[in-house]
C-alpha cells in the first residue's frame, strides 16, 4: 500500500555519547512532523516554497534551504533578517504558516548521561533509541486512525548505514514494548528514507525549525534548564503546543507528543 502519512525527522544536539557529562551535550532531541501526503503535496509544500520566495527571493534552481542555525545567525541568504521590520514580518508569517497547516508533532529527548550511567557499554545508540520511541508513538497514532505511513530523516554523514539497520531491526523485531506486527501494520516499508539537506525537502526543513525549541520546551518542563525564552520564542512554542500528539481521550501530551528518556516511573 502507498503511505498516507509521512513523518519527517530531524535532531537537535549531539547524537553520540562523547562528552555527555557536559550540560551542552547531555541532551539529544528528535522531532518528527507527521503530515498527510495529499495535504503535503497540494498545500504544505507549495505554500512553504511561496513563503520562502516571499521573504528570500531566489532562483528555484538554487533553492534557499531553511536551517534554523543560519536563520538565527542571519547567515547567507538570511541576511535580510538583520533588518528588524523584515525580521518581524518573517517571524509573524512563520507563526501563521505553522498554525495554518495540518501536521502533528512527536518530540523525544534523551538524557544521554543517565542512560549511559545506567547501561554502560550496553547503552543503546541515543539517536536510534529516540527513533524507536518516536516510531512507537507514530505507529500507535496510525493504528488509532487505521492508516499507514512511512518515515524520512535527514542523511547524516557516516551514520546512514547504522540508522537504516536500526530501523529495519525495529520493523522486523519490534521493541521491548511492541512486537513486530505493531510496526508492520502501520509502516509501509522496513526502510527509512534518507535525504540530504540540499534536497530541499519541506518536511525536513520544518522538523529542523522545530527540533531545538521542542527539545528546550521539554527540558524546561522537566526543570533541567532555565526558561530564558524571549517573546517570539514563547509565541513559537505556544503555536507548536497545539500540534503535539496526545492521548485520544484524555488529551494528555506527556508520553505521547513529548517523550523524555529514559523513563522514570
Domain CATH for 50 = 3.30.420.10
Grid cell locating 163: 540508522
Q: CB of 40 within 8 A of CB of 6?
A: yes
Q: Which residues of the chain have pLDDT under 50?
A: 265
Q: What is the CA radius of gyration of the chain?
A: 18
| Whole-number Cα distances in Å, 60 to 36, 39, 190, 200 | 25, 22, 33, 10
Q: What is the per-residue pLDDT for 123?
A: 73
- What pLDDT does residue 1 have? 63
Nearest to 5 by CA among 133, 139, 150: 150
Instruction: Kindly list the distances between the CA atom of residue 194 and the CA atoms of 12, 27, 157, 159, 200, in Å, as whole numbers in the listed order.
Output: 17, 23, 11, 11, 12
- Please give the pLDDT value at position 97: 97
What pLDDT shows up at residue 30?
95
CA pair distance 7, 33, nearest whole angstrom: 5
pLDDT at 194: 97
Cα separation, 223 vs 220, whole angstroms: 5
What pLDDT does residue 154 have? Answer: 92
Angle at 160 between CA 156 and CA 162, to 5 degrees: 125
Instruction: Give the pLDDT of residue 119.
Output: 79
Split into its structural domains, the chain has a count of: 1
* pLDDT at site 23: 84
Domain range holding 78? 5-261
Amino acid at each position: 500500500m502507498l503511505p498516507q502519512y509521512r513523518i519527517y525527522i530531524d535532531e537537535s544536539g549531539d547524537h553520540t555519547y562523547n562528552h555527555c557529562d557536559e550540560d551542552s551535550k547531555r541532551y539529544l532531541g528528535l522531532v518528527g512532523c507527521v503530515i498527510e501526503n495529499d495535504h503535503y503535496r497540494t498545500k504544505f509544500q507549495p505554500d512553504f516554497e511561496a513563503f520562502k520566495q516571499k521573504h528570500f527571493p531566489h532562483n528555484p534552481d538554487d533553492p534557499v534551504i531553511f536551517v534554523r542555525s543560519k536563520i538565527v545567525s542571519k547567515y547567507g541568504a538570511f541576511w535580510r533578517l538583520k533588518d528588524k521590520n523584515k525580521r518581524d514580518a518573517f517571524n509573524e508569517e512563520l507563526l501563521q504558516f505553522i498554525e495554518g497547516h495540518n501536521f502533528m508533532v512527536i518530540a523525544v529527548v534523551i538524557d544521554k548521561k543517565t542512560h549511559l550511567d545506567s547501561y554502560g557499554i550496553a547503552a543503546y545508540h541515543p539517536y536510534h533509541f529516540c527513533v524507536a520511541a518516536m516510531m512507537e508513538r507514530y505507529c500507535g497514532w496510525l493504528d488509532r486512525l487505521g492508516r499507514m505511513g512511512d518515515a524520512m530523516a535527514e542523511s547524516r554523514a557516516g551514520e546512514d548505514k547504522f540508522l537504516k539497520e536500526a530501523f529495519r531491526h525495529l520493523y522486523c523485531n519490534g521493541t521491548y514494548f511492541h512486537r513486530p506486527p505493531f510496526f508492520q501494520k502501520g509502516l509501509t516499508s522496513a526502510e527509512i528514507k534518507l535525504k540530504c539537506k540540499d534536497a530541499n525537502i519541506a518536511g525536513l526543513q520544518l522538523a529542523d525549525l522545530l527540533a531545538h525549541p521542542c527539545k528546550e520546551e521539554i527540558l524546561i518542563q522537566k526543570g533541567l534548564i532555565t526558561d530564558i525564552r524571549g517573546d517570539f520564542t514563547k509565541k513559537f512554542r505556544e503555536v507548536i503546543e497545539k500540534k503535539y500528539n496526545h492521548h485520544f481521550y484524555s488529551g494528555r501530551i506527556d508520553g505521547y507528543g513529548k517523550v523524555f528518556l529514559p523513563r522514570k516511573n
